[in-house]
Structure 1
Amino acid sequence: MAGMAGMAGMAGMAGMAGMAGSGLSNQAGAAVGALAFPVLGPVGVVAVRQYVAALVLLAVARPRLRAFTWRQWWPVLLLGGVFGTMNLSLYSAADRIGLGLAVTLEFLGPLTIALAGSRRRLDAGCAVLAGAGVVVLMRPRPSADYAGMALGLAAACCWASYILLNRVVGRRVPGAQGAAAASAVSALAFVPVGVAVAAAHPPTAGAVLCAVTAGVLSSAVPYLADLLTLRHVPAQTFGLFMSVNPVLAALAGWAILGQGLGTAEWAGIAAVVAANAASLATQR
């Protein structure tokens, strides 16, 4: 019994380490990618990230694309479009309002999915708390960038759609083949975009290195880490830990990009994180 308990403890520690590593890698990658914005812009960085994600997922999942039926292809195509749009909206928002606020607004997507259809009073309270946080973040002030905030909310809508489409793809396509095919579709769509960006703004070696690093840290590492983590950690615990990503994004933005936040912004982030965590922690 003691041996089994020890193994369970080791597995739990490995799971926690995997979740922490995944979150830190994801947000640090986004911050490093932002360093290339002056040269490549958000569009160019996202294009490179999509290429890296496709290469990794195709190598891991090895999808049998020729065997896909139209019933499998149409949600995969939609998922690929949403995947690219979500990242483009997020990176464009981060370019305008900072990484911490952009990721916080994006997290309204999964929070909405978690609260949708719920009749619990607690979830209604979570919705009010998250709404209060958004009001604080989007309050009128001279420095407010409403275009950037709108892009963050667009990323939230895309993430909610991404979750719903992933469920459909997961039911119709075995394993990770659907996700790999969707990433390939997104990467193909960004090929002409990448060519246009390179022609208009010749990339430097440093900018390309930052963009590739963003793709590895924000796509390849989190995907593989999450794949291993979910073998040891319940899905609810995993989702609960994911809710701290806005805080990690704000810290990465401060440490790597020098993006400081005021007390009001931290309060808004805390409200959204608390609403997400409370909803997930009390779900059966």
Structure 2
Amino acid sequence: MHAASAPATASARHTAREPAGLVTLVGSALSNQTGAAVGSLAFPALGPLGVVAVRQYVAAVVLCAVARPRPRSFTRHQWWPVLLLALVFGTMNLSLYTAIDRVGLGLAVTLEFLGPLAIALSAARRRVDACCALVAAAGVVTLMRPQPSADYLGMGLGLLAAVCWASYILLNRTVGRRIPGARGSAAAAAVSALMFLPVGIVLAVRDPPAPTALAYAVVAGVLSSAVPYLADMFTLRRVSAPAFGLLMSVNPVLAGLVGWIVLGQSLGPVEWAAVGAVVAANALSVLASRR
């Protein structure tokens, strides 16, 4: 009697906890995109490079405070994926923020979202996943269609951010297998912050930023790094993997909405349809795998 009721009790607890996790996940996505929008307000004073440097500092402080890595205990076998992760982490944020500066928040985040979507689809072997890949590809082709005002460098940087995000996922798995907990990710964040330290020194010495611009960059770091990281730690203990993957789809939509409300960057009907195609591809793939 007790043995049979234990799984049911555990399932009931998980079901009760899932709504809180789902709300937290949506809040995390909204925080992430709001942080990116706020950070872009500092572009005129700091540029994307300066904003990303501050964001890396904030991420390192938060992750190291939570995980408390011990770098001296790492072996060479553990260090090389950490160093690669640090490089990818910095490149991903720099390419994304530069893309935001050139093509807007909604388009940049939609292109970046292709990274985790490609990881999800590459592991599948079903017809529905092939259809999802075609739908996502159609959305990307629509977003990158030739126009007189098209910024192909900005779009290319968005795609570079997608490649980096996919690499970030794969490297995080490797680091997680070799270093327990979040200590490896925290060490990578610290190394990435050290890589951007010269940028901060040059900005502070050559052209000290106004307090307002610096505050925007710090807020971007908190909203786009600290809050999502802590929220994901909470969410992953309460939400199933398929639900997590499904709600990741809200990022491009929220990016478009936040870009419109905060920055005045509006997307046209064609762009919204393309964003919807990318989101639908991910949602369909996740729902099919769950079924």
Describe the superposition over 1:150-174 as per-residue Cα deviations: whole angstroms up to 9, x where unpaired.
0000000101110110110010000
- Within 5 Å, which residues of 2 pair with 1:157-236? 157-236=163-242
Deviation at 1:11, TM superposition (A): 1.2
Deviation at 1:6, TM superposition (A): 7.5
Q: Tell me the residue number matched to 2:267.
A: 261
Relative to the length of structure 1, the TM-score reads 0.96
1:277 aligned onto 2:283: yes
- Within 5 Å, which residues of 2 pair with 1:96-175? 96-175=102-181
**Residues 177 and 3 (structure 1), Cα distance of their counterparts in 2 relative to 1, 3 Å cut:** closer
**Number of corresponding residues:** 284
- Any idea what SS the aligned residue of 1:141 has? coil
Q: Distance in 1 between matches of 2:22 and 2:148?
A: 41
**Residues 216 and 260 (structure 1), Cα distance of their counterparts in 2 relative to 1, 3 Å cut:** same
Q: Which runs of 5+ in 1 are unaligned?
A: none
Q: Tell me the residue number matched to 2:31.
A: 25
The correspondence for 1:57, drawn from 56, 63, 72, is 63
Amino acid at match of 2:271: E
CA RMSD of superposed structures (Å): 1.6
Deviation at 1:281, TM superposition (A): 2.0
% identity of equivalent residues: 68
Q: Distance in 2 between matches of 1:123 and 1:177?
A: 34
Deviation at 1:255, TM superposition (A): 1.0
Q: Distance in 1 between matches of 2:214 and 2:223?
A: 14
Relative to the length of structure 2, the TM-score reads 0.94
Q: Distance in 1 between matches of 2:129 and 2:12?
A: 36
Preserved contact between residue 26 and residue 250 of structure 2 (Cα < 8 Å): no
Deviation at 1:213, TM superposition (A): 0.2
Deviation at 1:198, TM superposition (A): 3.3
Q: Distance in 2 between matches of 1:201 and 1:139?
A: 39
**Residues 79 and 251 (structure 1), Cα distance of their counterparts in 2 relative to 1, 3 Å cut:** same
Q: Distance in 1 between matches of 2:242 and 2:123?
A: 18
Q: Distance in 1 between matches of 2:10 and 2:60?
A: 39
The correspondence for 1:78, drawn from 77, 84, 93, is 84
Preserved contact between residue 11 and residue 232 of structure 1 (Cα < 8 Å): yes
- Any idea what SS the aligned residue of 1:43 has? helix
Preserved contact between residue 40 and residue 201 of structure 1 (Cα < 8 Å): no
**Residues 199 and 171 (structure 1), Cα distance of their counterparts in 2 relative to 1, 3 Å cut:** same
Deviation at 1:243, TM superposition (A): 1.4
Describe the superposition over 1:140-198 as per-residue Cα deviations: whole angstroms up to 9, x where unpaired.
01110001000000000101110110110010000000110000010000000222233
